[in-house]
Structure formats: C-alpha cells, structure tokens
Amino acid sequence: MSTSPGLTAALSFSDCFHCGLPVPDGAHYPIKFEGETRPACCRGCQAVAQTIIDSGQGAYYAHRTALPATPQQAEAELAQLGLYDLPEIQESFVRTEAENIREAALILENIVCAACIWLNERHIAGLPGVLSVEINYATRRARVRWDNGRIQLSAILKAVSDIGYIAHPFDPGRSDDIHKRERNTAIKRLAIAGLGMMQVMMYALPAYTATDMTDDIRLLMRWASLILTIPVVVYSAWPFFIGAWRDFKRRSLGMDVPVALGIGTAFAASVYATFSGHGEVYYDSVAMFVFLLLAGRFLEMNARRRAGAAVEELVKLIPAVTTRLPDWPARDEVQVPVARLAVGDHVLVRPGETLPADGVVIEGDSAVSEAMLTGESLPVSKTVHSQVVGGSLNQASPLVVRVDKLGADTRLASIVRLLDRAQSEKPRIGQLADRAAAWFVGLLLLITVVVGLVWYAIDPSKVLWIVVSILVVTCPCALGLATPAALTTATGRLTRLGLLTTRGHALETLARATDLVFDKTGTLTHGRLSVRRVVPLGGRSEREAGMLAAALEAGSEHPIAKALREVAAPAAIARQIRNTPGRGVEGAIEGRVYRLGAPAFAVARGLPPTPPEPDGGASWVALAEDGELIAWFALADTPRADAPVALAALQKQGLRLHLVSGDAAGAVQAVAQQLGIAEWHAGALPEDKLAYVNALQQQGRIVAMVGDGINDAPVLAGAQVSIAMGEGADVAQAAADMVMLGSRLATLSEGVALARKTRHIIRQNLGWALGYNLIAIPAAALGYVTPWIAGIGMSASSLLVVLNALRLSNFSQPADDGSLKAQDSRLAAQEPSL
C-alpha cells in the first residue's frame, strides 16, 4: 500500500488510536488495525474505531488530517410532549428553584429573525403561570421559569406550537437533528428559488432586449415564467408569508411584512398581466428577490450555528450512560442512563471515562483532566474527599464517586446557563436597532401609501410598480441584521480565541473600556509556586542542581516539588527517598545522599546557612550533597510568562493598567515593577478593591476588571465589564461578564481588539443600511427604480451586512509575535464544518 504517512503515523503508541487523547493507565480497549493492536482511550472510541475498520474503511486512519472528537453515545429520544411533565424526565433539563418554581431551557425551531424572538417572548410570557422567559437568538434557546402549580411544561410547549414554532426542552442530541432538518429545508428552498430565478431570467432577457418578438412567443414566455415562479412563491417564499401572517395576527410590524407585501403584489400583478394581456410582468424580479433573500438567511443561519456550536460542545461533555454501584461498597455494577442517576448514588468511573456529574471521590486516587471546563491543560490530581466536576475526564485509575449534583445543578450546566443568560441579555445597541426597525416598517408603509396616492393622481398605470419598488427596495432586513450578525459572529470568534462571553453587553463595553484593573495572584501570576532563581554553589551548573532536585522530587505532589520538577528533567533515579513532612526530602543518587528542603534540614550538621539575599517575598530551599550545601532555589509565585508581552499589547491599545491585590506590598510592588504597571495598590480587601474601581468610575473612566478569586467577585460585579480567569472560583465566574478559558493573557488584548472591531463593524452596518434606504426610497418614489433593480439592491444590502459581519469570524489581531495562536483551546479544534 502506498499511503503517505498520515496523522495516524504521528500518533505515539500511548495515544488513543481513534481520538488521539492520551490513553489512561489501566484502560484496556484494544483496537485491531492491520494485524496490529492499537490502544483506545474508552469504550466509545473502541467501538467507533472497530466499526470503521471492520467495515473496510480503515483507510480513514491513513488519510485523516485532523483528529475526531471522542464519541459520545446517543441518547434515547424523548418523543411525546406529555412525557416532559414526568419528574424523572424533567430532571435532566429542569431546575427547581422554590417549591413549585421551575426553570427549563428550551430549543426553539423555526426562528428566523429578531421579531420571532420577540413574538415568542411575548406569547410565552403572557401565559398564566409563566414567570419569565428569555430567548437567545444565536442559539435559538429559551429559558423559561414557571409555577408548576399553575401551568405544566407541556402546556408551555403546546403554546409555542400554537403560534407556529416548535419548542423542545434542551437536550444536545436533538439540537443537531433540528439543525440538520432546518438546513435541509433551507437548501431545498434555495435550490428551487435558484433554478426558478435562472430559467425565468432566460425568458426575461429576450423579452427586455428583442425587438422582433411576436406576440404569441411573448405570451408563451410569460406563461412559462408563471409556471416557474409559482413554486418559487409558494414553496421558497413560504417562510416570508408565514412570518408576515404571524406579524399581522399579533398586530406588530416585522421584517417579513414588507417582503411578503412586495413579493405578493409583484406576483399578483404579473399573474393579472399574464391573464389579461395588459401591463408588465415581474416574474424575474420576484424569483431573484426570493433567491437572494434566502441566500442571505442561509448565510446568517450558518453564522449563528457556528457561534452556537462552541456552547453546545460544553453540554455534550456529559456522557449518556454510566456505571452505577447500587450496593456500594459491594462491587455490583449496573449500566444506567445518566438521567436516571440520583444524588447520593455511587458511580464507578474508569480511566478514560468522563465523569457524569459533580461529586466527591469516595475511593481511588487518580488524575482528572478538567481541560474542557477550565482550559487548564494539566490533569488535576484527585484523591478521597476531592471534589470532581461532571464533564472532566478521568485519566489515571478508577474512581468511585458519590454523586452530589446532577443535571441542571452541575457546574457544567451552570456554565452553560451563564452563557445562555448572557446572550439573552441583548445589548442596548441591539435593542435600539429592533425598535428602530418597527418604526421604520410603519413609516415605510405610510410613505408607500402616500406615494401610491400621489402617483395615482399623476399616472395610474405606474402606481403598481412604483409601490412594488418601494416595498422591495426598502426591505429593512439590512437594518435588522446589522447588529445581531456582527455580535453573533464576534461572540463565536471570541469563544474560539478562549474568551467566553457570558453577558450580552460585555463586547460593547469592552470596546469602550479605558482602564484595566488586574488582580495579582492567579491572574497576573500563576497562583502557584515556581522557581525564580537557582544559585548553584561549588562549581556546579544551574542545570545540574536542577536535575538533582527534580530526581529527588520525582514522586511528590507537593507544590514545591512540582515547581522544582519544572526546572529540569531528573538526572537519574533517586532511591531510598524519604519524605519528612514540613521539612524536606532525602534520597540517594548514584551512591551519594542528597537532602532538599529547609536549610536546617538539608545541612544537618553545624549551623544552618543563610540564603544569599532576600528576594521580593521569595522563599529559599536548600540542596545538600552528603551534608554539604550545593545549591539554593528561590521559589515564588511568579508572573505568567506571557504577562509582559500581553500587558505591553494592552498598553499599546491605549488602556490604563492598574494592579490591585490583597497581597503584601513587597510582592505586589515586585510584580508591578516587573510588568511595568505604574498604578498598584497592595493589601486591598474586597471592599477596598470595589471602592478603588468605583473611584475610577466616578472620574468617568470605563473600567474592565480582571480577577479570579472569590474575593474578586464583588469587584467583578461592580466593574462595567469584568473578566474572570477560567481556573478561578465559580463565584468569580458567575459575577463576571466574560470568562477566560485558558490562562493565556494575550487573549485579553485580542478580546479588546475584537470588541473594538465589532463596534466598528456594527457602525459600518448601521450606517450602510440607513444610507442605502435614504437613497433608495426617494429614488423608488420618483419612479427611477424598476422592481428587479430594487430586488438586487435590497438583497445586496442584506448580503453586504452579513458578509461584513462574517469578517469577524476570521479576525486575528495584527500580532507582532507568532505565539498568539499557539494554543487555541480544544473547542477550536472541533469547530464544525458548515
């Protein structure tokens, strides 16, 4: 076989053959591939890979250029509405607040525009017993709170279907299906409209240009055009009529009203002309108009999907099935759906399996990767009594976990809800455009009537097509699309850069921010110890000393040990390692006895030596060989490696930087000086931090706060826009407007740049849409615009707005170093194709 060495060949034998994740110790899921046995990380991968290979598709592994996601097992379909009222079914997607107050996330099908959102919000909110409802345009999801004593969930779902939409309680497996069906229908409508448009144009062109056409041919062409346009109007343009009818029934004015009026009048006029033999036909305009409008909506649908996908990835982390131990501590295993788990159940999580829920480790000792949740790439070690989070991946050895929180109470679900809420809270600028659009439509209809009457007085034969032109040329879609298209695309792009937007206004405010206030520990610094300086003695090199220290600390999980291991690879294997808690470690390497730890412990005989010099809050660790001091290590919480570059970039963007920390003055000053931050404050309590930010705000500054700890939560909530570190406390993330998924500080300046670019693009879009209409309406009113020019102009303006917004999806900051994109999160690797 002459296949080039593909991605698979580059995988080491310790990685999962299917998805490329490291295979945990103790996981045994062999795959037979071309006579060899390759490892898999879990049952899912094993089953998938074996199916691929057994069906003769093994060439996939030789040719693939990207790694697939770890497969999840499909969930059982939940079919009938009434089922959704059963408590055990509701458990997975409904949160109970008080006795009867419940909250659920719903997916809405058939949402096409901001007006649909508005309609659904109003309709659901009007139901007796519904307490509140918020709908997110980007993901077509709604959050509904209701009083279960007065209304059942099934009644809410039925109410939604009564107004022509379909609502499903959220369940990630269904979301994909819905998307697929919607997309398929859109393609069919687009295809019919496209074919109709092309062929009608073929008939229209000779009718416009030919001079010697006989009347019977002309008539034949009109009839042929009519036959072709019927499916375009009845099938392809159907959503516009439905939307307009919905608006009409609700006595509100949406984007669909003028579109449907335009299509309807032009088509009706043409049919009349065809039958009666008098007047012009506009079949070509109608078909083209419908096609271009559908094309614009198709693009927009894809943009929305792209942005929504990253959020849905988070939900999909939870597996469908898990192993329950019903008689723990006995070892009887039962496979159960995660939805059937109850709080207090014991579950067995084998290496390579994903944790199904939040809980506490009861038995076992393992490393768990929380990368998907926090962006932290290192596995976190978990032992008895450790808290574990649903969605994280067990990597080392089996764990028995007692389930504490399930489904909607889990940390993962709360992250998703945070995101949902954020996207629901539409930015002010977005609401402004919505309201403007309703006024615009009303005004437009008024103008159309007036112009129609005036032309009726001047020349009754022209009234019809001038009215059609105005209705078509002024479609306010461009105006309505301007803001949501840009915000949706920008939010999606930000997520892929590693910055989750959890509140809608964040992007807008970040663009206007003038001051950036940082917390120190865990934000600008790692929040853990690392070796700042090595002082070797007696002619040894720093590297030698580091290698010895690493060897001694090879097996320890102590923070100091971890820091020392980062300095160098172990020199050799240390034997007879003995830990003296609180003092240090002793071991033998190549016949010599080494001691590492507190100075008094390392040098057992004689006086303990004094460290070389005090160093900004650092603590010193001594290494001794056979009782003789050979090296000093200075350990401190050091600034993140990328902090200087990232902060310099932010300063270049014109932001004033501040450092406010609860730490001692010495440590804060050291970090501030190292990073070039002029304004720093040490020893600040949470209320001091808040006061500091409030003082800045009173000077008219717009403050962005970056923090990570529980102590930062108040100030995060108090600042106009706030960013929490993904590794930080839950409370901090809940209070923040944005969450950094990785620990890459460069994300901040990328975020600021993207936010500014977004604001710029929204303004461009609004300016374009308004300017276009200002020119188009008078031109159409004076009769200079034929319906087909109007069709092109209108569609082009919508497309331009959407395409302009899509520029944001590939946004990358003009960078001066290439390291910025080095570490996109894993979410980025799974970006779905359109």
Run of H or E residues at 447: helix 428-458
Contacts 24+ apart (CB under 8 A), 552-557: 552/577, 552/585, 552/586, 552/587, 552/589, 552/594, 552/596, 553/585, 553/596, 556/585, 557/381
Cα–Cα distance, 355 to 343 (Å, whole number): 14
| Cβ-based nearer residue to another protein, 63 or 122 | 63
Q: Is 712 designated active site? A: no
Please, which residue, 216 or 332, has the CB nearer to another protein?
216
Q: In what order do the strands lie in the sheet with 387-388?
A: 334-337, 321-324, 346-349, 399-405, 358-363, 387-388
User: Nearest CA to 751 among 521, 491, 373, 418?
Assistant: 491
Q: Which is nearer to another protein, 217 or 665 (CB)?
A: 217
Tell me the three state secondary structure of residue 480.
helix
Contacts of 28 (CB under 8 A, 6+ apart): none
User: What DSSP character marks residue 820?
Assistant: G
Find out whether the peptide bond into 329 is cis, omega within 30 degrees of 0. yes
Beta strands (DSSP E) in 334-475 are 334-337, 346-349, 358-363, 366-369, 380-382, 387-388, 393-394, 399-405
Give least dist CB 357 to another protein, A. Answer: 33
Residue 151 tokens, joined = 């209304």
CB of 13 to another protein, least distance (A): 11
Q: How far is CA 623 from CA 591, 612, 619, in A?
A: 16, 13, 14
DSSP secondary structure string, 758-784? HHHHHHHHHHHHHHHHHHHHHHHHTT-
Residue 471 CB, nearest approach to another protein (Å): 28
Return the number of the residue (50 or 152) whose C-beta is nearest another protein. 50
Nearer to another protein, 286 or 667 (CB): 286
Nearer to another protein, 288 or 602 (CB): 288
When the beta carbons of 31 and 746 are compared against another protein, the nearer one is 31
Give me the residues paired with residue 426 across strands.
none
Which residue number, 5 or 582, has a Cβ lying nearer to another protein? Answer: 5
- Are residues 786 and 732 in contact, defined by beta-carbon separation less than 8 angstroms? no
Q: How far is the CB of 201 from another protein (least distance, A)?
A: 12
- H or E element, residue 105: strand 101-109
Residue 686: count other Cβ atoms within 10 Å of its Cβ.
Answer: 16
Residue burial 704-713, b: 16+ Cβ < 10 Å; e: rest: bbbbbbebbb
Nearest to 561 by CA among 543, 581, 542: 581
Q: Which is nearer to another protein, 188 or 528 (CB)?
A: 188
Q: Which of 519, 637, 708, 712 is catalytic?
A: 519
What is the smallest separation between the CB atom of 690 and another protein, expressed in angstroms?
50
Tokens for 234, please give them: 């009845």
Which of residues 227 and 432 has its CB atom nearest to another protein in the complex? 227
Report the distance separating Cα 392 and Cα 444, nearest Å. Answer: 54
Cα first-last separation, the chain: 33
Minimum CB–partner distance for residue 292 and another protein (Å): 18
Shortest distance, CB of residue 294 to another protein, whole angstroms?
14
Task: Please state the closest distance from residue 229 (CB atom) to another protein, in A.
Answer: 12
CB of 70 to another protein, least distance (A): 19
Three-state secondary-structure class, residue 512 = helix
Which residues of this protein are in contact with another protein, per CB under 8 A? 1, 3, 9, 34-35, 53, 56-60, 62-63, 65, 180, 183-184, 187-188, 191-192, 195-196, 199, 202-203, 213-214, 216-217, 220-221, 224, 227-228, 231, 833-834
CB of 192 to another protein, least distance (A): 6
Q: Which residues lie closer than 8 Å to 58 by C-beta, 6 or more apart?
A: 33, 34, 52
Dihedral in degrees, nearest 10, Cα atoms 759, 765, 769, 774? 70
CA 696 to the chain's CA centroid? 31
Residues catalogued as catalytic: 519
